[in-house]
Chains A and B, each alone.
Chain A
Amino acid sequence: MTRSRTLHNVILAPYSLWALLFILVPLAFVAYYAFTDNAFAFTTDNIARFFTATSVVDGAEVRTYLLIFWRSLKLAVISTVLCLLLGYPLAYIMARASDRSQKIMMILIMIPMWMNFLIRTYAWMTILQDTGILNGFLTSLGLGRVHIIGTESAVVIGMVYDYLPYMVLPIYSIMAKMDLKLLEAARDLGCNSFGVLRRVIFPLSLPGVLSGITMVLIPSVSTFYISQKLGNGKFFLIGDAIEGQYVANNLHFAAAMAFILMVILLAVMALMKHFTNRQVYGGDDT
């Protein structure tokens, strides 16, 4: 017994060391760079710059980075809500389909996930361009052209497209395991279809919804490629801003923005966890 205990401690050692060196220490480096200047002397200038730097947009003075951050958050939340609204019914339909259709739909959902997202996003650029396929199609129908590329809508389309499968899969995997007897029981006890959905299916699927939301919100709030190709200008989203500072070799300011993003996301996740725990275990319905 003691010999096997020793074995278990020995085989755990490499990972413990790895997690310390390459997961925890690098995060400490983010904080270290965020609070130092180029000579590694302590400073809060980088953090202050994020909150106070201003620039002129359309004749009005705005807080540059707060505006960028606000836009990132706004577009990420819109995309997440759209993914949920579009993906939830699809997950439901998939879970109710025959075994064969479920398998086919799973393959169809996985293919886009495994194809390089850079090329797929680039393809959207060629679709949405002013002289692109969408406008060619619209003009051939005799409808006017639309200008989408470079707008916030184009970025939202890109995000919804790229991350929709990450919303569908966790919700589907919960729904596929759901006990059908519960739904029958609810119906026998007088629930209509909408009541079954609201009182039984939705509460039971909440863990899937929560992980779907996290899996869409986090990549969309921090993306920089989608906004580079479908948005306009260089500093469109917070991811662009961080990447731009990295390319310009301003590592301390890049670290400061990464640090702020990390702290805010941790707070959001903690809130969300708290909220769903109450929903699942506390019970809000009478």
Chain B
Amino acid sequence: MKTASRIYTVLLFLFLFAPIAILLVFSFNEAKSLSVFTGFSLKWYRELFHDEATLQSVRNTLLLAVSAMVISTVMGTAAAVGIERLRVKWLRYTLNTATDIPMTNPDIITGISLMLMFVFVGRLFGLANSLSFWTLLIAHVTFCLPYVILQVLPRLRQMDPSLPEAAEDLGCTPLRAFFKVTIPEIMPGILTGAVMAFTMSLDDFVISYFTSGAGFQTLPIRIYNMTKKTVTPKMYALATIIFFVILALLLISNLTDQGEKKKD
């Protein structure tokens, strides 16, 4: 039984990593071919670092992800605190349902729905093309918000509600009690929510595809446009770099986790 499950696990991970292994190997291919390996070369990496459009799309993606993360984390945390204390039942129910919609709707519908509204409102103001960085940012904040809210809400429920009340009784203003007592208590949820928002924004293709204009290209959209034609190993070089960055981040976060556990 033990060996059977071990073989099964190895086979599944081989399936999951087969295309990634091919990306890694062929990014070092000398020839342009993506199926015949002719010799080792770093030329696709050199080409990648001279491809200004791709580098710009990386900068765009990071700018967008950081902006979407900051806005959705601040607004989402505030929203979670408000929803948790809300006494009006129907409003609470409506807000919870609205929060679930971007999570359960297919991305294509979220993208189309926002695009239709942007186009319609743009026409009202006589704009031929209303899609831009700002519409993209609105879209990203919209699909990041639920992740923040759903991370912060459980933390609030675990928190003793008498803590901020005690701070107020001892002379804190509600605002000061909020920043000094509530925020530190729910910080782990806020941080996880922020990380999730950041990664969702980095990785999103479908919603960005419908809500971005020609002037502002993110990396996934750049990759989409590149894969419309025949792809050069340059893109594989990019994927290889992404792979090692992710690997490093995951290892670091796991190691620090273990470090913290040992301190406890």
Contacts and interface: CB of A to CB of B under 8 A. Distances in A.
Interface stretch (A60-68, A178-186, A216-224): A216-224
Contacts, number: 214
A119 B236 contact: yes
A78 B250 CA distance: 32
B114 to A, nearest CB: 5
Interface stretch (B39-47, B48-56, B115-123): B115-123
A131 B20 contact: no
B8 A251 contact: no
B187 interface: no
A18 B75 CA distance: 9
Contacts of B153: none
Nearest to A222: B106
Contact of B145 (A15, A103, A119): A15
B254 interface: yes
B82 A11 contact: yes
Contacts of A225: 205-206, 224
B76 interface: yes
Given A111-B20, A243-B108, A8 B35 contact: no
Interface in A236-267: 239, 242-243, 246, 251, 254-255, 258, 261-262, 265
B108 A255 contact: no
Contacts of A93: 5, 8-9
Contacts of A129: 35
B203 to A, nearest CB: 7
Given A8-B82, A15-B75, A93-B9, A239 B108 contact: yes
Interface residues of B, number: 82
A118 interface: yes
A161 B19 CA distance: 10
Given A8-B86, A18-B145, A111 B242 contact: no
A24 B98 contact: yes
Interface in A82-118: 86, 89-90, 93, 103, 105, 107-112, 114-118
Interface in B143-158: 145, 149
A126 B99 CA distance: 39
A30 B20 contact: no
Given A90-B8, A214-B104, A246-B112, A12 B239 contact: no
A286 interface: no
Contacts of A111: 20, 243, 246-247, 250
Contact of A116 (B106, B178, B203): B203
B95 A16 contact: yes
A107 to B, nearest CB: 5
B86 A12 contact: yes
Interface string B12-50: 110111111011001000000011100000000000000
B142 A127 contact: no
Given A22-B114, A90-B8, A126 B109 contact: no
Contacts of A110: 246, 250
Nearest to A16: B95
A53 interface: no
Interface string B52-79: 0000000000000000000000011011
